[in-house]
């Protein structure tokens, strides 16, 4: 495609700072993550954000997260990560999405739906690439 340059891959296994932090496991809770300069340079135009979750639950339900960045003029650009589970079961899901590089270098994750308090429930937000300016 003309006019679209290549993106720069980030390997969380090689640059552990690309793992921004854990997804919240309680409804309404927001986790905010600062994107390190060692992961994405200040001149980047966009970021490839990856989120994953693995859960088990004693009751059936569904939960989702919004992973977002602020945009100029207010508001957010975000993607959603959904996990649906049955009673006594487990579930996993992941999603990667391009978002604009936020001026404040903050990516946030907000949980909606049923709380997932079990200590074995986990999920992360990572940077997997960026688009140079």
Query: For residue 61, what pLDDT is reported?
Result: 87
Query: What is the pLDDT at residue 1?
Result: 46
Residue 52 phi, psi (nearest 5): -140, 155
Q: How far is CA 48 from the centre of its chain?
A: 9
Q: Which residues of the chain have pLDDT under 50?
A: 1
Q: Specify the pLDDT at position 132.
A: 92
Write down all domains in the chain, each with its CATH number in brackets.
8-132 (2.60.120)
- 10 Å Cβ neighbour count for 21? 15
Q: How far is CA 129 from CA 24, 28, 54, 86, 113, in A?
A: 23, 28, 22, 34, 29
pLDDT at position 4 is: 61
Q: How far apart are the first and last CA of the chain?
A: 17
Output the pLDDT for position 118. Answer: 87
What gap in Å lies between CA 83 and CA 15, rounded to an integer?
A: 27
Rounded Cα gap, residues 87 and 116, in angstroms: 13
| Spatial distance between the Cα atoms of 89 and 76, rounded to a whole number of angstroms | 33
Q: What CA–CA distance (Å, rounded) separates 83 from 78?
A: 17
Q: In the prediction, which pLDDT does 3 show?
A: 63
Paired tokens of 47 = 């970021």
pLDDT of residue 55: 93
């Amino acid at each position: 495609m003309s006019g679209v340059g290549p993106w720069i891959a980030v390997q969380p296994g090689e640059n552990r700072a690309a793992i921004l932090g854990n997804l919240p496991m309680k409804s309404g809770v927001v986790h905010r993550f600062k994107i390190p300069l060692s992961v994405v340079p200040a001149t980047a135009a966009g970021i490839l954000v990856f989120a994953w979750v693995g859960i088990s639950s004693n009751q059936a339900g569904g939960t989702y997260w919004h992973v977002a960045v602020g945009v100029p003029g207010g508001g957010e650009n975000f993607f959603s990560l959904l996990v649906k589970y049955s009673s006594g079961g487990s579930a996993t899901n992941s999603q990667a999405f391009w978002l604009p590089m936020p001026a404040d270098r903050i990516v946030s994750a907000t949980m909606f739906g049923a709380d997932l308090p079990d200590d074995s429930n986990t999920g992360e937000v990572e940077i997997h690439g960026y688009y140079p300016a």
